[in-house]
């Protein structure tokens, strides 16, 4: 097993990985940009190493700095988390050249499957149905001609993409040029690769993915599906397992297709095969995420497996200790992604200092996050604060627990999308499982701004902040008005400097 692992990421996923390392008795090394110096993953890691300024292209996307940090801290392995360089084959190649084990698939598997266009070509070769579109990166004029021939709507997608970055839905010729430009620009900023490809957009599909694990000894297993259809502008916001509509027969077919793809691509480690499912329960290959997914906790909750520990074990050369047939999912799990953003202001990011927070707990509740009270949420990265996960014996019990946990969740100083989830969990269509990838966007267009579910939360947070500010002001004013006797006249010793600084720090911490 490894002795020390460098975590080439930040935020909640870095915290998740270092906790797995600690349970395995492996030392962890965090890396951080200048703006992340006080982040939770830096505080919790055994060691932390600076890698540059706030912009990700000067820090978290610099392979040379990551390899240098790994060498300087004596790491024998590197975990990329998700996002940033997690699906860039240049990183595992650099690790191999530096004698560092990459905790993820080999570069060749990334190129065969992680590239969205290469993955589509491979899927067709092994007879897995795919969504109509291009199999290679495409230029603007070529993509426009294809869109006109197959008919709108179409999707422009980043070849190196993931997480909804570098993706645009196009409904007409008039929108095409600006959508292509914006998608390419976003892809370059997020992944350092501006190449795009084009797909036909299916009407009202469900987004369902299969989690797979593969070791270096030829065993590939499916851990079942996750439903990821609740999306805002192609970005997943709620995930659950199992899917409300997947039958045992469909699960078997999709799992067999996912395993077949993984074998054909020489895949090793954790990965996700993503599919679109139409209203007739026909499925189409979408893409492969050659990394750990944001939503991996819902699979962990229904299988009892720790995917990060299994990733580390596979990278260390261990065999998977179970077969596909031995995995029996139990109960139902659901995850909501909590972002520092303002749903009433077009989901604009809401950076700032967290003045106070209350984390929910109780039966069936798990919270994966990378923040703490007093920390300042930066404006330089994705505004994901953490993930709230609920588990129950049934989908109904899971939703009830998630509602209760969202009612307990409180944070002041910034705005969040927690209120939106409270609203979604009351929607009859959601409760019946009658959802699709555009369901949330359609719901948001129908809701008046004041109905997003954030009013009550914002009012409570605002009141708390005003009360805290008033208390702090009153304390400060009373101190100013107090007579200040000298040590000689009072007959008492002057307070020590440590006492004075401690009191001042307590006042500074008042929300």
Which residues carry out catalysis? 291
444-450 contacts at long range (C-beta below 8 A, 24 or more positions apart) = 444/232, 447/423, 449/344, 450/344
The residues near 16 (Cβ < 8 Å, ≥ 6 apart) are 308, 368
**Whole-angstrom Cα Rg for the chain:** 25
SS3 76: coil
Structure tokens at 265: 């691509």
253-259 contacts at long range (C-beta below 8 A, 24 or more positions apart) = 253/283, 254/208, 254/210, 254/225, 254/283, 255/210, 255/222, 255/224, 255/225, 255/324, 256/222, 257/128, 257/210, 257/283, 257/285, 258/210, 258/212, 258/222, 259/212, 259/220, 259/221, 259/222, 259/324
Cα angle for residues 479, 507, 502 (degrees, 5° grid): 95
**86, 61 in Cβ contact below 8 A?**
no
Backbone phi, psi, residue 251, to 5°: -60, -45
**126, 28 in Cβ contact below 8 A?**
no
> Would you call the peptide bond into 404 cis, given omega within 30 degrees of 0 as the criterion?
no
Q: At what angle do helices 63-72 and 90-97 cross, to 10 degrees?
A: 30
Burial class of residue 478 in the structure, from the number of CB atoms within 10 Å of its CB (0-12 exposed, 13-18 middle, 19+ buried):
exposed
The residues near 299 (Cβ < 8 Å, ≥ 6 apart) are 211, 223, 224, 226, 241, 305, 307, 333
**341, 348 in Cβ contact below 8 A?**
yes
Which candidate, 471, 369, 452, places its Cα nearest to that of 411? 369
Q: Give the CA distances from residue 64 to residues 68, 69, 80, 98, 378, in Å, rounded to whole numbers and listed in that order.
A: 6, 9, 14, 10, 24
Q: Which residue has the tokens 């008795």?
A: 25
**177, 225 in Cβ contact below 8 A?**
no
The residues near 159 (Cβ < 8 Å, ≥ 6 apart) are 115, 116, 117, 137, 187, 193, 195, 196, 197
Which candidate, 161, 200, 151, places its Cα nearest to that of 287? 161
Structure tokens at 409: 């969740």
Which candidate, 5, 3, 65, places its Cα nearest to that of 33? 65
């Amino acid at each position: 097993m490894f002795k020390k692992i460098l975590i080439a990421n930040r935020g909640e996923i870095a915290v998740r990985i270092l906790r797995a390392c600690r349970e395995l008795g492996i030392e962890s090394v965090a890396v951080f940009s200048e703006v992340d110096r006080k982040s939770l993953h830096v505080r919790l890691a055994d060691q932390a190493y600076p890698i540059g300024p706030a912009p990700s292209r000067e820090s978290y996307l610099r392979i040379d700095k990551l390899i240098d940090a790994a060498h300087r801290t004596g790491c024998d392995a590197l975990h990329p988390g998700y996002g940033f360089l997690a699906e860039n084959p240049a990183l595992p190649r650099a690790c191999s050249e530096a004698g560092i084990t990459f905790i993820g698939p080999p570069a060749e598997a990334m190129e065969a499957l992680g590239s969205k266009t290469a993955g589509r070509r491979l899927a067709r070769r092994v007879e897995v149905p795919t969504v109509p579109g291009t199999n290679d990166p495409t230029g603007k004029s070529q993509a426009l001609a294809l869109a006109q021939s197959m008919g709108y709507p179409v999707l422009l997608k980043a070849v190196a993409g993931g997480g909804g970055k570098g993706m645009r839905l196009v409904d007409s010729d008039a929108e095409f040029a600006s959508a292509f430009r914006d998608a390419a620009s976003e892809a370059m900023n997020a992944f350092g690769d501006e190449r795009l490809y084009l797909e036909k957009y299916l009407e009202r599909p469900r987004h369902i993915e299969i989690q797979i694990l593969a070791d270096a000894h030829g065993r590939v297993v499916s851990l079942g599906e996750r439903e990821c259809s609740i999306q805002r502008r192609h970005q997943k916001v709620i995930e659950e397992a199992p899917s409300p509509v997947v039958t045992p027969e469909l699960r078997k077919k999709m799992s067999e297709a996912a395993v077949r793809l993984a074998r054909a691509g020489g895949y090793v480690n954790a990965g996700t095969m993503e599919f679109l499912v139409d209203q007739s329960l026909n499925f189409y290959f979408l893409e492969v995420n050659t990394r750990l997914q944001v939503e991996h906790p819902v699979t962990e909750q229904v299988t009892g497996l720790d995917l990060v520990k299994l990733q580390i074990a596979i990278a260390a050369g261990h065999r998977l200790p179970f077969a596909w047939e031995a995995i029996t999912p139990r109960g139902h799990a659901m995850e909501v992604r909590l972002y520092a953003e303002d749903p009433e202001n077009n989901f604009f990011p809401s950076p700032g200092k967290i003045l106070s927070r209350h984390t929910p707990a109780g039966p069936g509740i798990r919270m994966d996050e990378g923040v703490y009270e007093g920390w300042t949420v930066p404006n330089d990265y994705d505004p994901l604060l953490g993930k709230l996960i609920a588990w129950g014996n049934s989908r109904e019990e899971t939703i009830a627990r998630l509602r209760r946990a969202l009612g307990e969740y409180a944070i002041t100083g910034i705005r969040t999308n927690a209120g939106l989830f409270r609203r979604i969990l009351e929607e009859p269509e959601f409760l019946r499982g009658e959802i699709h990838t555009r369901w949330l966007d359609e719901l948001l267009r129908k809701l008046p701004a004041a109905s997003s579910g954030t009013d009550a939360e914002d009012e409570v947070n605002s009141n708390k902040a005003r009360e805290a500010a008033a208390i702090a002001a009153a304390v400060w004013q009373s101190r100013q008005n107090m007579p200040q006797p000298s040590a000689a006249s009072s007959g008492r010793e002057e307070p020590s400097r440590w006492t004075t600084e401690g009191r001042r720090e307590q006042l500074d911490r008042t929300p």
